[in-house]
Amino acid sequence: MQQEKATVEEFKKLPSVGDTTAKILQDEGYLTFEDLVRANPMTIHQECNIVISSATHIISAAVEHIDGQCPMCESHSIKNSWEEYSDAIPKDSDAEVVCSGCGWYGIIEELEK
């Protein structure tokens, strides 16, 4: 799945993101919504000097910009793997996303278009 670089204007649609924050995210290597989904709030806080609660909202909203559905139940109930579902995922898993509908977890590339 080819990831398209998000524009500053696209990033500005996320909560707590204006011109400056969008540019900081991109300067730190967060170029796509998938890059944001793969991150965790503490990392964004440390790398971009963004308040942790804002980083959490940014990442959660980025999930909504990923086009895909669960390969098991075909729902669009995809969430970040580090959110409240983290206890259901084995600690050694590479999971990036989880389906709140059926409990499936995996990486972004496994989502069906």
How confident is the model at residue 101, as a pLDDT?
Answer: 87
Please measure the distance between the N-terminal and C-terminal CA atoms of the chain and give it in whole angstroms.
10
How confident is the model at residue 55, as a pLDDT?
Answer: 94
Helices and strands: H and E segment counts in the chain: 5, 3
How confident is the model at residue 85, as a pLDDT?
Answer: 67
Cβ burial of 41 (10 Å; 0-12, 13-18, 19+) is buried
How confident is the model at residue 53, as a pLDDT?
Answer: 92
Q: How far is CA 42 from the centre of its chain?
A: 13
Report mean pLDDT in 10-residue bins for the chain, 113 residues.
81 95 97 93 95 93 87 88 72 85 90 80
How confident is the model at residue 6, as a pLDDT?
Answer: 93
Domains of the chain: 8-63 (1.10.150.20), 78-110 (no CATH)
Q: Where are the beta strands (DSSP E) in the chain?
A: 78-80, 97-99, 105-106
- CA torsion angle 37 42 45 47 (round to 10): -80
How confident is the model at residue 90, as a pLDDT?
Answer: 81
How confident is the model at residue 93, as a pLDDT?
Answer: 84
